[in-house]
Amino acid sequence: MASLKDIRKRIASVKNTQQITKAMKMVAAAKLRRAQDAVTSARPYANELKKLLSDILDRIEIESDADAPPAHPLLASRKEIHRCELVILTSDRGLCGGFNSNIIRAANRFLLDHSEIGELETYEEIYVSTIGRRGRDFFARRRDVKKGIHHEGVFDDLRYARAEEIASDLARRFVEHELDAVFLLYNTFRSAISQEVTLERLLPIPDPRGNGRRPTPDAPRPFVDFEYGPARPEVLEKLVPQTLSTRVWQALLESNASEHGARMSAMDNATRNAGEMIESLTLLANRTRQAAITTELVEIVSGAEAL
């Protein structure tokens, strides 16, 4: 049985840990509020951009032949996917619960499903690119995984310009046929205690209309009848790359907010667990002290009777 001195040392140690986890929880909560505001502000813009792209594609396809090529190279699907890149978003730091492990587990499942022994379409080469040091460190130890690009320090200074850089590099490699498809794996922010692992195809850009069917000239229009200037193809030339950058930016914001939410939740649980441990150790210390006092009293009484 531990001595009273040892128990008191453990209580002091747990109290120090509790102070640290409580402080980390408060910091994460402050960062979460800012990150959540950024996510909720960006979502409407991304949705409207998607609607605008859908509207332009509808109009271009109405005016073009059925066998016309895709309106933009980034929208062109490949018949066969030989080289694929999986971009995973993890955190730079730990102590955020299952935030990173859920992403890594989903990445491993993607690699297995699309391998020769998997149940889905087989890709000859799958490269894993990482945003966040936790993902980089994990896959650096995997010799069976082809390493892509690691984007360093993205979450240290989260800016739209970084999303544009990443999207521009992926678009260039896709157009030059270095890649046939790009997938993005990240945590979508639902609430402070809930994050959802999301896998989405980044390139070729999925048809925003969902079904990919050609519209008819007399089909009902769900949007306002815009007049475009300059011409629609010129607008599309700028809009498609911007859509790609916006999707990368949205994923970065979602992942950032999810990380802070997961860390706040993890530190809150750790703080409460530390409190329960302190109560348990305090009770043990009291019992140990009472047992020591009882033993001393018994020894005194026994000594007095012996006299």
The DSSP line for 106-117 is HHHHHHHHTSTT
Which structural domain range is residue 147 located in? 23-266
pTM metric for this prediction: 0.85
Q: Looking only at Cα atoms, what is the longest distance across the chain?
A: 116
SS3 call for 156: coil
**CA distance readout (Å), 29 to 19, 73, 194, 259, 260:** 15, 42, 14, 11, 7
Domain count, the chain: 1
CB atoms near residue 211 (< 10 Å) = 6
**Which tokens is 149 given?**
């690009």
Q: What is the pLDDT of residues 11-35, one digit of tens each?
A: 999 999 999 999 999 999 999 999 9
Looking at 96, 126, 154, 253, which residue is catalytic? 96
Percent with pLDDT over 90 in the chain: 58
- Residue 279 inside a domain? The answer is no
In a domain, 143, yes or no: yes
275 in any annotated domain: no
**Residue 307 maps to a domain:** no
Q: What is the CATH number of the domain that holds 194?
A: 3.40.1380.10
Question: Cβ neighbours of residue 130 under 8 Å, at least 6 residues apart?
Answer: 87, 88, 90, 136, 139, 148, 149, 150, 151
Tens-digit pLDDT profile for residues 137-173: 999 999 889 999 999 999 998 999 999 999 999 999 9
Residue 247 lies in a domain: yes
Cα 173 to Cα 88, 177, 178, 214, distances in angstroms: 18, 6, 5, 28
Q: What is the mean pLDDT of residues 111-120?
A: 80
Report if residue 292 sits inside a domain.
no
* pLDDT, the chain, mean: 86
The answer to whether residue 198 sits within a structural domain is yes
**128: β partners:** 86, 147
Is-catalytic flag, 96? Answer: yes
